[in-house]
A and B are shown apart, each in its own frame.
Chain A
Amino acid sequence: MKFFDRFFENNARSIAQTNGRRGMLKGLGAALVGASTIPLLPVARASEPVKPPQEVGDPGECDYWRYCAIDGFLCDCCGGSTNSCPPGTEMSPITWIGTCKNPVDDRNYVISYNDCCGKTQCNSCLCQRDEGDRPLYRSDKSNDVNWCLGASSSVYHCSTAIVVGIAFEKN
């Protein structure tokens, strides 16, 4: 026990002699400033999920803002939602991406129209607005491609409309 007493006493004294009382505050401050920059690293930002924007409208209706470039059945009417697939279907990771203007803040958002696959087509709420759709020779910008080609079953059921980013406005 004596050893512990001596050990802590010596340490406490040597710290008291070499460091000021405000030293810890300074260190803490510096650490806080240092730590605050870490979440700003680009890697962290790149993987950060996009905060959902403020919205108006009914995701069950074709005129909902996120559907500006859609061509298909709305998953919202098929037992899923704008962000998720109906039970029993699989979301294709390979997808068609466009931008739509959100009427609330008047900003363009990047929308990913991931298809839900693996069940016969839903057949309700067909919505075809096609803004920004390009012919098949620009296959990455054509919504006529069966994007279920990226899923394990290529049978198309319905389409989601997920906000994945904010558009960069070129001057």
Chain B
Amino acid sequence: MKILTSFLLLSSCIISTSAFSSDLINEKRAKFNYQMLCQGCHVGDGRGGKDVPNMKGLVGNFLKTQKGREYLVRVPGAANSAIDSKELAELLNWIIITIGSESKPKDFKPFTEHEVEELREDPLMEVVQYRIMLMKELSDLPEQR
């Protein structure tokens, strides 16, 4: 029983800290930035609507290719957002974990400030066709098991 107790206590500690590493994501700030900069169109849970893409349970799929990963930063809503690259990296990581949920790759490598800084210097001028092309590339990928 002692072993069971320690196991339960230990696992509860791990569960409560594993989703966000506190030095990487300030959850309150990330959520606030999401609400102020993304939620207006992508809505509270990321579902989007009408012409706004659905991110809920899906956005992590872009991380399957390098181009897809870069797209998440270069898309105008991200690249042109009125926050610095540190907060943008945090916001993107928060979106992938919270809204992407099961679509987040197992080997997810969080965006860093430096990576975001470089990528947003090259924002996308045309998004719709580029996104269609990316989606096709992603759907052509061999299924991973």
Q: Which residue numbers of A lie inside 8 Å of B, CB to CB?
A: 19-20, 23, 26-27, 29-31, 33-34, 36-38, 40-43, 45-47, 93-97, 99, 110, 112, 138, 140-141, 149-150, 164-168, 170
Could you tell me the distance between the alpha carbons of A29 and B6 in the complex, rounded to whole angstroms?
11
Shortest CB–CB separation between residue A47 and chain B, in angstroms?
7
Q: Which residue of B lies closest to A132 (CB)?
A: B36
Shortest CB–CB separation between residue A146 and chain B, in angstroms?
13
Question: What 3 pairs between A and B have smallest CB-CB spacing?
Answer: A168-B32, A30-B8, A34-B12
- Say yes or no: A97 contacts B12, CB within 8 Å: no
- Say yes or no: A165 contacts B35, CB within 8 Å: yes
**Residue in B31, B50, B101 whose beta carbon sits within 8 Å of that of A94 in the complex:** B50
**Residue in B11, B27, B32, B49 whose beta carbon sits within 8 Å of that of A167 in the complex:** B32
- Please list 29 pairs of residues, one from A and one from B, whose beta carbons are closer than 8 Å in the complex, sorted by A's number: A26-B1, A26-B2, A27-B4, A30-B8, A30-B9, A33-B8, A33-B9, A34-B12, A36-B12, A37-B13, A40-B16, A42-B19, A43-B19, A43-B101, A45-B27, A93-B49, A94-B41, A94-B49, A94-B52, A97-B36, A97-B39, A140-B40, A140-B41, A141-B82, A149-B50, A150-B49, A164-B39, A164-B44, A167-B32
Shortest CB–CB separation between residue B28 and chain A, in angstroms?
5
Is the C-beta of B37 less than 8 angstroms from some C-beta in chain A?
Answer: yes
- Say yes or no: B19 contacts A168, CB within 8 Å: no
Q: Which residue numbers of B lie inside 8 Å of A, CB to CB?
A: 1-2, 4-5, 8-9, 11-13, 15-16, 19-20, 27-29, 31-33, 35-37, 39-41, 43-45, 49-50, 52, 77, 82, 97-98, 101
Could you tell me the distance between the alpha carbons of A165 and B35 in the complex, rounded to whole angstroms?
8
Q: A residues within 8 A CB of B31?
A: 46, 165, 168
Q: Which residue of B lies closest to A46 (CB)?
A: B98
Q: A residues within 8 A CB of B12?
A: 33-34, 36-37
**Residue in B1, B8, B97 whose beta carbon sits within 8 Å of that of A19 in the complex:** B1
Q: A residues within 8 A CB of B82?
A: 138, 141
